[in-house]
Structure 1
């Protein structure tokens, strides 16, 4: 049984080296790349103001984090939830960088980059030259985005978990996982044969893919 953790953060800005802080962290436990019912979610007092531009993206305001615990207070529980297992995130270097900055402030070591699994890297390998944001991947895999009016760490984790299942082919492996391991798996318990999914490609996506392919020198499929 392989355990990993899929996680996401929301922040006051884009650069932890210039004073931006984590204001929300959420994580979902995965077994064999499929989510269980164990989650971690905390709002955090960043000990600074949240700029309006950031609030418009994730919907979190200064009032939302007033009285919430500081990062130092949630760090032990977060690290316990992470354990020593692989850590999955979309554009993972961003989230790792922010958590490393927070851990550094309280005298804890950075996260081991050897644990990093970046779903953006996986998506780019599978869909080269195409948009691979979380929204784009959800649309490509026909995952419901109706609840995503703003960036929310826990909701983003749940959406990314669905994307990750598609990227790794995990639905097939999950059919009998719960019975074998005594686990409660959420959202991906299916029976029967998986139906092939037609993946529509827009004209813009097709043009971007063709442009990418054109950059490949001496492509095997062009040889006569």
Structure 2
């Protein structure tokens, strides 16, 4: 495996508030890596910064060996890195088809036609609701749409921010099954997830964030059985 993402001494601030305080981590091609931690630990801030939604106040982010600090978000997508944001953020007054079209704006029509079929294979309910307004869909269906929209750019690295938030347990299982399948087909995954048990159960490696710093790292299996992690995040 080769390194696809490298984060070094990353600092993210909102005015006087320091959200991320000098974290460093790597992701190898083909891995599932998860960031777990309490609300406000800096997980989403890390993903948003990597995606180019705002600049770090310090540190470096390299994707496929090249710096992406200061690169426009749409250019980062073109390079093969996509973010499925927290809260889904689908275009509620647009149809399923229109939302998916927005996800493929960096690709040609021919490429999008092929990718659309792949998305429908993973999310058959989207095909069934192709003309439906996104705002009238259930939370689980909107999450599938948000993930499908991100996949339309054919990312090499897909970042998922809280994909199970607000979903019924049966839908959580379905979403995580899809994440594992996407990874098996070659997509590298960076996962932020409040459901630490589910995240660690599918992750190759994990990082525990506390108040903007990495407090612990290890394989998913090791963290799943770590006493400190159990007490803090797994209800053990």
For the criterion TM > 0.5, the same-fold answer is: no
Larger Cα Rg: Structure 1 or Structure 2? 1
Give TM class, smaller chain: under 0.3
TM-score for both structures, normalised by structure 2: 0.23
TM-score by length of 1: 0.23
Hey, which of these two has a bigger chunk of strand by percent?
2
